[in-house]
């Protein structure tokens, strides 16, 4: 894959990354995101996105921008929607403001479409760049700060589990458990093989992973990383990068493990949904939103494929005539009839094109994040009458979509 464009005086070439470019990509990442650049570690680098999922933008033969797309999925309506997780978008400071990131995103979109990744999700540092290319805010990442001292008040699990470090052979069981626990939470992540290894296996100096086992069965796991204590509370803070627990006892066992870090660590950052059991046992002063909670943005890469891939409520039976606008992915644009029936959805070309919507707001509707009435009030959904608003709400509305993992 390759895309060239004249950008100012220089031509920008976008292509997949090569093996001899690993260090240059690392340096660019550090330049963009790190206060103190970390040294390049080959084994660490080889465990992230494969090279054919990394794009570079070159100017005059020199790399000036890059991004990566993880193989992922997201659960909506109990079904897994293939998703490309965009991460690490960075452009050299001297090359910014000339369309380099835009060229990378356009190429990424084409590549995701070819691979059948019907949606794409990312954590934005700036919304403008991504909104311009059709991503829209589409769900929550409710990060909380947990007082580790308070965890000592948690009740002991009734059925105890043993805790041990995770090993590479655990990976299939950890992936199965993660899927079983999170598949009914709207927006939750399905880990592709590389991201699963990255999040569910220990990396010396980067993260530890502990497995809870009961009667020979894996019933929970947690991935924790240590970071600087921001306000001199303890020697370090913990970040829970991911976890899954099959039931309340397993969850209590994992949180007992976290409490054992106290008082060397006093706080942990963790993404806990209301549906988690632990908040029921803790006062809200022990578990506070960090103020760093992110929203994620989603793009419908292939709107028809995306509508067909997710699940819907069995009792919904609706039809809405849409007119979809999409400047950067013209294959999505045009009039469609949206039908949802018997738990399945389809977007067929044609119809009256009554309800006009941009591809971004449509993504926010699709995940269940945006309410159609609110979109209409904001001028982001035109031409819908009461019946159509109710139909769209019935098709996509429900519990708030959220993501536990940051990427
Ligand atoms: C963000 C970044 C990747 C943008 O790269 P770029 O090549 O300058 O972006 P483009 O020239 O293609 O800009 C496209 C649009 O995004 C907007 N944009 C770009 N950077 C922006 C920023 N930092 N804040 C707000 N808007 C920004 C541009 O104004 C432009 O919109 P417009 O055409 O409506 O004016 C680059 O500034 C960077 O590497 N920053 C540091 C790392 C970072 O923040 N990465 C994003 C992680 S999610």
Distance of alpha carbon 226 from alpha carbon 263, whole angstroms: 14
Radius of gyration of the chain (CA): 22
Distance 380 CA to ligand 1 centre (A): 23
Distance 109 CA to ligand 1 centre (A): 17
Burial 196-217 (b: 16+ CB within 10 A, else e): bbbbbbbbeeebbbbbbbbeee
Sequence ranges of the domains in the chain? 2-117, 143-292, 303-396
Q: What is the pLDDT along the chain (407 residues), one digit of tens a residue?
A: 455 555 455 699 999 999 999 999 999 999 999 999 999 999 889 999 999 999 999 999 999 999 999 999 999 999 999 999 999 999 999 999 999 999 999 999 999 999 999 999 999 999 999 999 999 999 999 888 888 988 888 889 999 999 999 999 999 999 999 999 999 999 999 999 999 999 999 998 889 999 999 999 999 999 999 998 877 778 999 999 999 999 999 999 999 999 999 999 999 999 987 667 676 777 666 667 676 678 999 999 999 999 999 999 999 999 999 999 999 999 999 999 999 999 999 999 999 999 999 999 999 999 999 999 999 999 999 999 999 999 999 999 999 999 999 99
5 CB near ligand 1 (under 6 Å): no
Q: CB neighbours of 36 closer than 8 A, spacing ≥ 6?
A: none
Distance 324 CA to ligand 1 centre (A): 26
**Topology match between the domains 2-117 and 143-292:** yes
Distance 196 CA to ligand 1 centre (A): 29
Fold of 303-396: Nonspecific Lipid-transfer Protein; Chain A (3.30.1050)
Tokens for 6, please give them: 């004249």
230 CB near ligand 1 (under 6 Å): no
Fold of 2-117: Aminopeptidase (3.40.630)
Distance 296 CA to ligand 1 centre (A): 17
Fold of 143-292: Aminopeptidase (3.40.630)
Establish how many alpha carbons lie within 13 A of residue 100's alpha carbon, considering only the half-sphere containing its beta carbon.
25
Q: CB neighbours of 335 closer than 8 A, spacing ≥ 6?
A: 321, 322, 323, 324, 349, 350, 351, 352, 353
162 CB near ligand 1 (under 6 Å): no
Tokens for 147, please give them: 């007082």
64 CB near ligand 1 (under 6 Å): no
Nearest to 296 by CA among 72, 56, 44: 72
Distance 96 CA to ligand 1 centre (A): 7
Q: How many CB atoms lie within 10 A of CB 233?
A: 14
124 CB near ligand 1 (under 6 Å): yes
DSSP 123-179: --S-HHHHHHTT-EEEEEE-EEEEEGGGGGGSPPPSS--EEEE--GGGHHHHHHHHH
Mutation test of ligand 1: which of 66, 105, 129, 132 has the most ligand atoms closer than 8 Å to its C-beta?
A: 129
Distance of alpha carbon 52 from alpha carbon 55, whole angstroms: 8
97 CB near ligand 1 (under 6 Å): yes
99 CB near ligand 1 (under 6 Å): yes
């Amino acid at each position: 894959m390759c895309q060239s464009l004249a950008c100012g005086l220089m031509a920008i070439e976008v292509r997949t990354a090569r093996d001899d470019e690993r260090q240059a990509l690392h340096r660019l990442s550090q330049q963009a995101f790190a206060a103190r650049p970390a040294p390049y570690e080959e084994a660490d680098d080889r465990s992230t996105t494969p090279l054919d999922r990394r794009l570079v933008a070159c100017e005059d033969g020199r790399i000036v921008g890059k991004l990566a797309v993880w193989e992922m999925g997201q659960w909506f309506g109990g079904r897994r929607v293939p998703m490309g997780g965009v991460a690490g978008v960075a452009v050299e400071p001297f090359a910014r403001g000339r369309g380099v990131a835009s060229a990378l995103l356009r190429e990424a979109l084409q590549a995701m479409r070819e691979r059948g990744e019907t949606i794409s999700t990312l954590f934005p540092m700036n919304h403008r760049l991504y909104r311009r290319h059709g991503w829209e805010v589409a769900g929550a990442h409710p990060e909380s700060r947990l007082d580790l001292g308070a965890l000592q008040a948690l009740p002991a699990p009734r059925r105890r589990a043993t805790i041990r470090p995770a090993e590479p052979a655990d990976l299939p069981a950890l992936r199965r458990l993660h899927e079983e626990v999170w598949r009914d939470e709207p927006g939750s992540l399905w880990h592709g093989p590389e991201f699963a290894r990255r999040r569910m296996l220990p990396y010396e100096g980067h993260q530890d992973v502990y497995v809870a086992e009961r009667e020979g069965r894996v019933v929970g796991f947690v991935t924790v990383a240590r970071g600087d204590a921001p306000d001199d509370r303890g020697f370090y803070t913990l970040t829970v990068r991911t976890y899954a627990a099959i039931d309340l006892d397993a969850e209590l066992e994992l949180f007992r493990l976290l409490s054992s870090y106290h008082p060397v660590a006093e706080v942990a950052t963790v993404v806990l949904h209301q549906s988690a059991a632990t908040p029921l046992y803790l006062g809200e002063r022990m578990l506070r939103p960090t103020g760093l909670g992110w929203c994620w943005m989603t793009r419908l890469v292939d709107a028809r494929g995306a509508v067909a891939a997710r699940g819907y409520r069995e009792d919904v039976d609706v039809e809405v005539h849409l007119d979809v606008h999409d400047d950067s992915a013209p294959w999505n644009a045009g009039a469609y009839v949206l039908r949802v029936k018997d738990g399945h959805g389809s977007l067929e070309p044609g119809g009256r094109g009554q309800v006009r919507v941009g591809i971004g707001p449509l993504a926010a509707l699709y995940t269940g994040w945006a309410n159609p009435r609110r979109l209409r009030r904001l001028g982001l959904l035109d031409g819908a009458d009461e019946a159509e608003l109710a139909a769209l709400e019935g098709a996509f509305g429900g519990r708030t979509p959220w993501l536990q993992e940051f990427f």
